[in-house]
């Protein structure tokens, strides 16, 4: 325990508190990013450099970007309503505060029975080796797998079915985002938003922030094409190649340094997010080409699966990476590359799709196309699709 | 007996976890709720990684001298961070979709709009 650690613990609690009470939503997202940065320094102090890398790229970079994109897409750049509190902070919700204070006190009381952090006799540390060896993993990771990075060994060799499941979850998330955001067009057709139908007078003010939505659907390609300051574009032009190469390096050096596919993948993904920040996320998806992203994700999963099932040829057991004997480090590296491809593709796709939709899908730009009546809300699917199609044809001919 | 000096990250976990729950309970803003979920998630990771730490431990990379910290929490937290951001993206996509449908991201307004649909009446309180 050092003064730095205590200062960091205080820092993360204070930034979390500010995130909770800020009325200004951009402010809340910014303090949340600061919280993530604080946490990633905590990981570094707790001797978890690989987690710190992931957290810095995901929490402070990609997650903040996703939140900002969601705020822009929902035109929520203004602070939360004034009636909820003062100029800067939200009003304290007394019942909620009472409940969570009870929770906090109960948790603090419970954790006081934990062994001290860093105590060598703590069960979480000592019980993994009954003989009391200070470095139990060093022996069998070195002997079994032949690579020094124990985290990579756990992820890719001992628990690779879990890791595969998590990769599938990440891929499923992409599919989920695509389904949720494209349903508008594929199932329902373009629809007006309910508040605009009930309160047409609100439409202008609300749409200024999201930009572009008031244009006709047929000639709009991206929700918000914008021009960024040359300072930002120059800085990003300089930094992005380095970030990208660093991500590739992390992916390829997963066996011998605190790195791997997850870390490399998120760093590569954040490089593309930076490009999107400077040049617009819509043009970025055109530049990267969505087929390349799909190929990266499919190729990554394919590489993982083929290495995992290649073990069947040796011992008859799928996912038994140790079956490759001396070639195991190579198999681990191949799987890391697969994970890197998948996670890089997932991170890039999530941000870009949430922000801009895919090329053939003009996002939800159709939902307030021309103010025409799209029929009652509860009309059934086919009718709605039919009327939507009619509306769109009408819109294009005018 | 609570010892803040040897349990500092555990106490930070308790505080951040409670703050996350507070955001979930307090803010009607759906994007704010996603941030609250993320705070809860990060606080749990803090417990995992803190529990695997050893005083003076090196990262679990067997080139330096021991003692090493436990690599298991690192492995699970690493993947959980990536899965967490993917799930947050799905949640935010649902928020965007709700905004397309209802024109608001305020849960009270969305509930009022749904209630309107069910009763078939125009709710005068809505804005």
pLDDT bucket at A36, cuts 50 / 70 / 90: very high
Residues A233 and A174: their CA atoms lie apart, in Å, by 28
Residues A262 and A154: their CA atoms lie apart, in Å, by 13
Q: What is the number of other CB atoms lying within 10 angstroms of the CB of residue A291? A: 9
Distances (CA, A) of B107 to A292, B110, B120: 38, 5, 19
CA A45 to chain centre: 24
Hey, are the CB atoms on B16 and A13 less than 8 Å from each other? yes
DSSP A232-289: HHHHHHHHHHHHHHHHHHHHHTTTTSS--HHHHHHHHHHHHHHHHHHH-HHHHHHHH-
Burial of A168 (0-12, 13-18, 19+ CB in 10 A): middle
Helix (H) or strand (E) holding A367: none
- The tokens describing A125, both together, are 């540390």
* Residues of B whose CB is below 8 A from A122: 51
CB proximity B118 to A under 8 Å: no
Task: Tell which of B72, B86, B98 to mutate to test the A interface (max A CBs under 10 Å).
Answer: B86
pLDDT tens sequence across A122-158: 777 766 555 555 455 666 676 777 788 888 888 888 8
Question: Cβ(A163)–Cβ(A293) under 8 Å?
Answer: no
Report CA dihedral (A272, A277, A283, A284) to the nearest 10 degrees: 0
Residue, of A390 and B17, whose pLDDT is higher:
B17
pLDDT bucket at A388, cuts 50 / 70 / 90: very low
Nearest residue on chain A to B40, judged by CA atoms?
A16
Among B9, B54, B89, beta carbon nearest to A354: B89
Reply yes or no: is the peptide bond before residue A282 cis, omega within 30 of 0.
no
Q: What is the DSSP letter of A360?
A: T
Q: What is the mean pLDDT of residues A169-196?
A: 66
Residues A88 and A18: their CA atoms lie apart, in Å, by 10
| Portion 71-90 of B in contact with A at CB < 8 A | 71-75, 77-83, 85-90
Hey, are the CB atoms on B59 and A48 less than 8 Å from each other? yes
Going by C-alpha positions, the residue among B106, B81, B86 that lies closest to residue B95 is B106
* Residues of A whose CB is below 8 A from B44: none
* Residues of A whose CB is below 8 A from B57: 47, 118
CB proximity B124 to A under 8 Å: no
**ipTM score of the complex?**
0.90
- Residues composing chain B: 127
Hey, are the CB atoms on B86 and A16 less than 8 Å from each other? no
Residues A71 and A355: their CA atoms lie apart, in Å, by 10
pTM above 0.90, yes or no: no
Q: Which residue reads 């703590």 in tokens?
A: A122
The pLDDT > 70 percentage for chain A reads 70
Going by C-alpha positions, the residue among A361, A355, A367 that lies closest to residue A73 is A355
Per-residue pLDDT at A238 exceeds 80: yes
Nearest residue on chain B to A47, judged by CA atoms?
B59
Hey, are the CB atoms on B34 and A70 less than 8 Å from each other? yes
Q: In terms of DSSP H, where are the helices of A87-193? A: 94-111, 123-126, 136-144, 150-153, 160-183
pLDDT tens sequence across A74-118: 876 666 655 556 677 878 888 889 999 999 999 999 988 888 888
Residues A191 and A154: their CA atoms lie apart, in Å, by 49
* Residues of A whose CB is below 8 A from B110: none
Hey, are the CB atoms on A364 and B127 less than 8 Å from each other? no
Q: What is the mean pLDDT of residues A213-240?
A: 65
| Portion 25-64 of B in contact with A at CB < 8 A | 25-27, 29, 31-32, 34-36, 38-39, 42, 45-47, 49-63
Q: What is the mean pLDDT of residues A15-37?
A: 91
CA B45 to chain centre: 10
Among B10, B29, B62, beta carbon nearest to A138: B62
DSSP chain B: ---TTTSHHHHHHHHHHHHHHHHHHH--BHHHHHHHHHHHHHHHHHHHHHHT-BTTPBPSBTTS-S-B--HHHHHHHHHHHHHHHHHHHHHHHHHHHHHHHHS--BHHHHHHHHHHHHHTS--TT--
The pLDDT > 70 percentage for chain B reads 88
Per-residue pLDDT at B47 exceeds 70: yes
Question: Cβ(B53)–Cβ(A118) under 8 Å?
Answer: yes
Nearest residue on chain B to A188, judged by CA atoms?
B101
Per-residue pLDDT at A393 exceeds 80: no
* Residues of A whose CB is below 8 A from B86: 169-170, 173-174, 346, 350
* Residues of B whose CB is below 8 A from A353: 93
Hey, are the CB atoms on B8 and A137 less than 8 Å from each other? no
Mean predicted lDDT score pLDDT of chain A: 76
Nearest residue on chain B to A351, judged by CA atoms?
B89
Nearest residue on chain B to A142, judged by CA atoms?
B62
pLDDT tens sequence across B71-94: 888 999 998 999 999 999 999 999
């Amino acid at each position: 325990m050092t003064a730095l650690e205590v200062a960091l613990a205080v820092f993360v609690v204070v930034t979390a508190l500010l995130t909770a009470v800020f009325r200004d939503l951009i402010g809340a997202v910014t303090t949340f990013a600061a919280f993530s940065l604080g946490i990633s320094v905590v990981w570094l102090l707790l001797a978890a450099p690989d987690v710190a890398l992931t957290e810095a790229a995901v929490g402070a970079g990609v997650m903040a970007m996703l939140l900002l994109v969601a705020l822009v897409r929902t035109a929520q750049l203004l602070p939360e309503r004034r009636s909820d509190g003062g100029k800067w902070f939200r009003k304290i919700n007394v019942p909620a505060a009472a409940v969570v204070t009870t929770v906090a006190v109960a948790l603090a009381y419970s954790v006081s029975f934990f062994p001290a952090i860093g105590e060598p006799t703590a069960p979480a540390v000592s019980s993994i080796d009954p003989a009391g060896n200070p470095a139990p993993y060093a022996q069998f990771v070195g002997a079994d797998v032949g690579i020094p990075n124990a985290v990579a060994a756990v992820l890719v060799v001992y628990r690779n079915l879990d890791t595969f499941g998590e990769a599938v979850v990440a891929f499923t998330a992409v599919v989920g985002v695509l389904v949720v955001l494209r349903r508008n067009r594929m199932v329902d057709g373009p629809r007006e938003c309910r508040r605009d139908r009930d309160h047409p007078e609100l439409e202008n003010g609300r749409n200024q922030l999201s930009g572009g939505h008031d244009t006709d659907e047929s000639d709009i390609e991206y929700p918000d094409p914008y021009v960024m300051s040359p300072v930002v574009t120059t800085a990003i032009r300089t930094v992005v190649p380095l970030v990208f190469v660093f991500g590739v390096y992390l992916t390829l050096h997963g066996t011998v340094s605190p790195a791997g596919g997850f870390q490399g993948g998120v760093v590569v993904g954040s490089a593309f997010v930076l490009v999107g920040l400077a040049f617009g996320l819509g043009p970025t998806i055109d530049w990267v080409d969505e087929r390349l992203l799909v190929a990266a994700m499919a190729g990554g999963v394919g590489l993982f699966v083929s290495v995992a099932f290649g073990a069947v040829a040796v011992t008859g057991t799928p996912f038994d990476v140790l079956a490759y004997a001396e070639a195991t480090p190579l198999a681990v590296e191949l799987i890391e590359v697969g994970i890197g491809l998948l996670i890089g593709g997932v991170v890039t796709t999530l941000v870009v799709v949430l922000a801009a939709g895919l090329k053939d899908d003009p996002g939800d730009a159709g939902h307030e196309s021309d103010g025409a009546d799209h029929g009652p809300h509860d009309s059934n699917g086919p009718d709605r699709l039919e009327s939507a199609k009619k509306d769109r044809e009408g819109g294009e001919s005018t | 007996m609570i010892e803040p000096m040897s349990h500092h990250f555990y106490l930070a976990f308790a505080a951040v976890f409670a703050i996350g729950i507070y955001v979930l309970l307090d803010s009607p803003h759906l994007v704010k709720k996603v941030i609250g979920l993320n705070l809860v998630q990060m606080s749990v990771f803090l417990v995992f990684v803190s529990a695997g730490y050893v005083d003076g431990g090196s990262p679990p990379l067997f080139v330096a001298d021991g003692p090493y910290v436990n690599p298991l929490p690192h492995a699970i937290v690493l993947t959980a961070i990536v899965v967490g951001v993917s799930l947050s993206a799905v949640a935010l996509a649902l928020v965007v979709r709700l905004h397309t449908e209802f024109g608001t991201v305020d849960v009270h307004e969305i509930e009022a709009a749904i209630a309107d649909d069910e009763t078939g009446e125009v709710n005068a309180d809505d804005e």
